[in-house]
Structure 1
């Protein structure tokens, strides 16, 4: 009996000791994943899931094509201050193909990845990938709120790497922003390939310079964002871009109007090039695009919002070797009526119904020489728009 007691004691003693050790370790204080000293930073950091999901119905020339559910927009965003004079912003689009083959060494699915430093009380220096400050209010609006873009913003590289210096006057009614950016995200060869016209060669400085002025007038009822941009696309091949954005607020009405003009030695948007490609294998030269974009928002009560967007683009081939022909090849139109319903007064989530109708009207010259055909497209959507602020 005594031997059995000693035998079981030798077996159980290590187990009991091990169990006591486990209990003791379980009661120890584990260091948090985020140190307590850093928790104060979170009050200045926002974590946002910019989301738009819908049941979409597509039409071509008034004929129903297909219907399906889609995540139209999903952009993860984190932004905030990490120092009294340093802030950051990062936004990645998961509904865009991630292309790592870019000139700036960052995926094209990344919208923004930049740091901003307060270099003076009214001056800020921004470095990284940012939005080009050339697009008027259409481009400045959160993408989840835009069901369809006009031609210039839809066909442009709007998020590029560079540096910006901004300055605000004492009254903060006038702000000035200067940017020096890459003029594109793809290499010259990737963008144009074998379609480069004879005599056009890549430049060693594919850069863009942007000057922007933002103003506020009449007790902030009228706001403006005006800009001029100059792009170097190839050797002795440039692009000039003017954008005049206007915003008017009165009680329950918000009205936007953007005018944009792009004159391009080498067709960056590709609209004219696609029209003439049946007879011209090269990218079109000396083209211009003239656009108008209008958006009206009217609040009915506290939960219903009515929106109407009108857009127009005129595309010109000024470099047409047949000088006796009209350079105006295409006029496009768009209309987007939308109804939004916000069920919660303390949470930004909206159900919406919207219809995107677009029409292309080609000139007689484009129809007779390049077989261009007028057409319409439509998209009827039932969905949800929500910038989900989770932190």
Structure 2
């Protein structure tokens, strides 16, 4: 027995010694991964996983085509203040192809990557990649809340690199924002390729100027975001964009209405160009788009919310060389009824059922000259929406 005791003592002595050494070292002061002096910054920083996942069912002209589970939206976001007068925001979309851009040197999957500096009590300077402030609440709404976009926001470059200067009046009910941005994320050749019309050449200053006014009236019940934007797309080839966004809040009802008008010397959205491509190999010139977007939200119970979105877009081609032309080529309509259930009162997560229905009505001229065919598409979704705030 004594022999075994000596044996086990010799065997376990190094382990006890090592454990004692580790315990002694554990009692010493260890430098944390994040210095204590920096921990105070975290209280002003948010880390968010903007998420929408669903079981989607797709329909074309009333016929079911397929069903599958999808991560519709997953945008990682970090934002906050890193100094009393300096803040930042970064958001990357992982449900978009991360193709690099040859214009602004940042992937198109990055929505925002900017720094904002308070240069005066009511004046802010923002530099980096940001959302184009051309107004409209459809674009300003968190993308995880939008099941489908109207044409202009769906087809446009909405996140661009540049600089912005914003100023708020003393009453904070009126805010003005001026932006100077790149007019696109791709080079002119990458965007149009062989479809560039004869006589159209690239410009040395592909920039966009945006002026925006945000107002608040009647104790915040009515809010507006109006803007005018001017884009230089090519030499002597420009784009004019007007957007009028309106928001009304009353008790349990929130109502939005956006009106948008885009006049384009060279078709940037590509809708008209796609209609006429069977006869004209070049991108359409002198086009314009007019659209309306309405969204109503009504809380029928503490945890139940009803939503209805209506949208309409009209596509016109003024540059048609046909003397018997009809300018109006396409009218599209959309309706999105949705019901949301929020099971937690202290956590922003919603289960939803929504149906996206869109109808495309081509003019008789488009049907007869470009073989355009009317059609409908639908999407029935069962899923969850959650801006997961993890920090």
Across the aligned residues of Structure 1 and Structure 2, the Cα RMSD in angstroms comes to 1.7
Show the counterpart of 1:274: 274
- Classify the secondary structure of the residue corresponding to 2:43: helix
Distance 1:19 1:215, change over 3 A: closer
- Classify the secondary structure of the residue corresponding to 1:226: strand
Show the counterpart of 2:7: none
Show the counterpart of 1:300: 300
Structure 2 portions without partners, runs of 5+: 1-9
In 2: Cα distance, 1:12 partner to 1:167 partner: 72
In 2: Cα distance, 1:48 partner to 1:88 partner: 14
In 2: Cα distance, 1:177 partner to 1:26 partner: 54
Correspondence list, 1:103-118, <5 A:
103-118=103-118
2:177 is the counterpart of 1:177? yes
- Classify the secondary structure of the residue corresponding to 1:162: strand
Report the Cα offset of residue 21 of structure 1.
4.6
2:153 is the counterpart of 1:159? no
Structure 1 portions without partners, runs of 5+: 1-9
Deviations 1:265-300 (A, max 9, x none): 000000000000011111100000000000000011
Contact residue 203 and residue 233 of structure 2 kept, 8 A: yes
Show the counterpart of 1:244: 244
In 1: Cα distance, 2:138 partner to 2:132 partner: 12
Report the Cα offset of residue 13 of structure 1.
9.8
Deviations 1:90-114 (A, max 9, x none): 1010100101133100111100010
Show the counterpart of 2:203: 203
Show the counterpart of 1:340: 340
- Classify the secondary structure of the residue corresponding to 2:246: strand
Deviations 1:17-67 (A, max 9, x none): 766654543443321111111111111111111000000000000000000
Show the counterpart of 1:60: 60
Report the Cα offset of residue 324 of structure 1.
2.5
In 1: Cα distance, 2:97 partner to 2:65 partner: 24
In 2: Cα distance, 1:160 partner to 1:261 partner: 20
In 2: Cα distance, 1:91 partner to 1:12 partner: 54
Contact residue 111 and residue 129 of structure 1 kept, 8 A: yes
Show the counterpart of 1:4: none
Distance 1:23 1:253, change over 3 A: closer
Contact residue 334 and residue 357 of structure 2 kept, 8 A: yes
In 2: Cα distance, 1:256 partner to 1:343 partner: 25
With normalisation by structure 1, the TM-score equals 0.95
Distance 1:151 1:12, change over 3 A: closer
Report the Cα offset of residue 86 of structure 1.
0.5
In 1: Cα distance, 2:208 partner to 2:383 partner: 37
Show the counterpart of 1:218: 218
In 2: Cα distance, 1:107 partner to 1:304 partner: 38
2:163 is the counterpart of 1:168? no
Contact residue 61 and residue 375 of structure 1 kept, 8 A: yes
Contact residue 135 and residue 153 of structure 1 kept, 8 A: no
Contact residue 135 and residue 212 of structure 2 kept, 8 A: no
Aligned length: 383
2:49 is the counterpart of 1:49? yes
- Classify the secondary structure of the residue corresponding to 1:153: helix
In 2: Cα distance, 1:11 partner to 1:62 partner: 77
